[in-house]
Structure 1
Amino acid sequence: MSKYKVTNTINLSEFNTKEIVEKAEKKLKKLRKQLSKLQDTMYAEGKYSVLICLQGMDTSGKDSLIREVFKDVNAQGIEVTSFKVPSELEKKHDYLWRHYIALPERGKIGIFNRTHYENVLVTRVHPEYIIGENIPAATSVEVLDEAFFNHRMEEINNFEAHIVTNGTIVLKFFLNLSKEEQKNRLLRRLRLKEKNWKFSPGDLKERLLWDEYQFCYQDLLNKTSKENAPWFIIPADDKLTTRLKVAEIIVETLKNYNFKEPELPQKYKAEISNYKKQLGSE
């Protein structure tokens, strides 16, 4: 786990985008069962929730990762939220509002497919988007400088510290995809008719800004990976390995919390034999 965890200042270009683990699918199957049991026990205990944050360039495999890693977890114990362009209602609130109201309740696993970090990522590459938020500080694109985004990142750190203190376990995953593999996946969407619907010309426009996005990712990874809400950089060129590594980290982390089912009140325990007789006599 420590191999992928951001604990010091990192240079994103030094991280591998591809890793192959033998029998990854078989190993993932075992981990899915463990994750399901952990969520059941966490729900019964009722003290904690889990927030899984997934970020990555287009085609990095976020959607399929959610499907494959969490498929054995009780559907009632999972909440997936995909954040798109803010709605008019969302724009009438601060930028963290829509993320706060989507947080999982105690006992559940919440997954943010794209996250509150879009507010220091896409908006940093396209600062004109922030003008649409109509906030006092955004008088022009020119004032949206490094200090502005550093301040937002500090606000995000505070937001995460607050929810951790109140029982939310936060794990953040950056799916580290290579530019070459992204090209291959985009071409696949164009080549396969059943995948055409996934393609958008906008993907190609954003691809031209690859270096800018990499800079912004590196900056936010360095400034917002904290011990209470760590970032993990996961190689994303091989989807099976990506899913396995994310599952391993989640399961390993949750095991450390030693979730326990609440015990039956003593007055009911003392009557268990009588309850059994009552049911057996029907």
Structure 2
Amino acid sequence: MSLRRVAARFINMDEQTGLAELDRIAADASRVIQKRYWLLSTTFAAAAFTTAIILLPWLALTLNEAPGADVIGLIGLGCFGLMMAAGASWRVFQYGGLKAATPQKPVYADPEDSAVRNLERLFAVLQLESTPRAFYYARNDARRYVAHRYFFGKLRAAHVANDSTIRNALFGPVGFWFAPELFLEVDVDKLIAEAKAKPKRSGVPKKYDYTGAIISLIDHPKVRALDMTKKIGNQKVIIGLLVHWYIGRRLDVPSDTQLAGYANDILEAIKKNRSSNS
């Protein structure tokens, strides 16, 4: 079974819901590192390109024993050193040093998220040498097993992510970028019990907090000021207030079409309340 599916089962009893949660976690983690990784990758690429550009004239000057070859060689060496330093700094960021010696504090947008906690319980088990080793398939379909140290890094969520940003940013304990799909041959239910994980049994999480948005309109001055005798305009006011509530909390905003039904229900409730009080 793919490690991603195992992770989904750790998060939720419903695998599809768990996969959706994994995508959310990975996307949030990607936003945390994207600026830092962009700077690293840009520096690495620029240094590599400059090194390659300098190498050709340096070889030509060296073969012709022309003056200035040593200077150009030193410049090229400096660019190569910058490229290696960029890669080394990213490894240090992920593993706390050039070698993966101990598990690092992972990068998550919200480490207190219950889904994140369950995911970390999986990684805690995978960090043990006694746990069956994860593996990936080489081009010849041969299995290549990975050491437990592969799950020590801060970006270990990349091992179970579809998100390209965090997957492309992952370094292995050996070498540079490491992004093959991992698999695990194990009894998942037994592993969940050993890890003391508590997968949720709920269905697909709600994307929008309609309840909170609607409650925010109770006793709102603009709602109290609505003229219920008007045929048009009131729905637009309610939708605008709901949108403002979502934006103020930096939440995803439903479309006007999605909010229109709630706005009509709110207006109907206001109309009934006012008629009963009159």
Choose between structure 1 and 2: higher strand proportion. Answer: 1
Q: TM-score, normalised by structure 2?
A: 0.28
Which structure is larger by alpha-carbon Rg, 1 or 2?
2
Higher relative CO (Cα under 8 Å, sequence separation at least 6) belongs to 1
Q: Which protein is richer in helix relative to its size?
A: 2
What TM-score do you get using the length of structure 1 for normalisation? 0.27
